[in-house]
């Protein structure tokens, strides 16, 4: 009986160690490509279509229908602004933060640094068209990302925590802000967010 218990215990230990040494996951760049660059590329075509539509409305539509058509045009134009100047930069920033987090986990520090810089660039794009109310929130997320100055084996764990905190702040920002377009006195369209 004692031999059987020793054999069973030894067999359990061997099976346990064998199952723990599975194949390590590899970083797959094709899967990790998580930005919205394709959508950004079609924005100029959407803008051209809007310009054509505006010209058509002004040339061919008259009276009450013209006013309704121009109101509809304004709604669509504002929607394109919100996509271009708010959602795409913010979602791209979030994708770069997520990618940098995984790259640090894989020891890909150069790539992670590049993705952090890309995330900051996207936050800067969003802040350019933001009102004062939302610009401060973007700056807070950006400050968190800028804390990740150097990435090394010694700082990897802390950098991942910092990136996680920045991502949480950005996600809260995305959930809180309901973006709308407002016009300045100079006629510039800005994205206003109700925080």
For residue range 76-113, list pLDDT tens digits in order.
888 888 888 888 898 899 999 999 998 998 899 999 99
Using one digit for the tens of pLDDT, what is the confidence trace for 154-178? Answer: 888 898 889 888 988 888 888 877 8
Cβ-based neighbours of 134, under 8 Å, separated by 6 or more: 127, 173, 177, 191, 192, 193, 195
Which letter, b or e, does each residue of 154-165 get, where b requires 16 or more Cβ atoms within 10 Å of its Cβ? eeeeebbebbee
CATH (residue range 34-193): 1.20.120
Cβ-based neighbours of 178, under 8 Å, separated by 6 or more: 193, 194
Task: List the domain boundaries for the chain.
Answer: 34-193
């Amino acid at each position: 009986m004692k031999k059987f218990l020793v054999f069973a215990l030894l067999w359990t230990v061997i099976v346990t160690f064998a199952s723990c040494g599975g194949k390590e996951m590899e970083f797959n760049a094709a899967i990790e490509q998580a930005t919205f660059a394709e959508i950004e590329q079609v924005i100029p075509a959407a803008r051209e279509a809007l310009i054509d539509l505006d010209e058509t409305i002004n040339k061919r539509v008259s009276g009450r229908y013209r006013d309704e058509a121009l109101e509809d045009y304004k709604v669509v134009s504002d929607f394109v602004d919100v996509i271009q100047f708010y959602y795409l930069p913010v979602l791209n920033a979030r994708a770069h933060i997520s990618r940098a987090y995984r790259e640090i986990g894989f020891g890909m520090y150069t790539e992670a640094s590049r993705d952090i810089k890309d995330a900051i660039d996207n936050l800067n794009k969003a802040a350019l068209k933001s009102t004062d109310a939302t610009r401060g929130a973007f700056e807070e997320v950006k400050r968190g990302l800028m804390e990740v100055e150097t990435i090394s084996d010694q700082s990897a764990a802390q950098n991942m925590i910092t990136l996680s905190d920045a991502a949480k702040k950005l996600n809260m920002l995305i959930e809180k802000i309901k973006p709308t377009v407002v016009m300045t006195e100079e006629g510039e369209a800005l994205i206003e967010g109700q925080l």
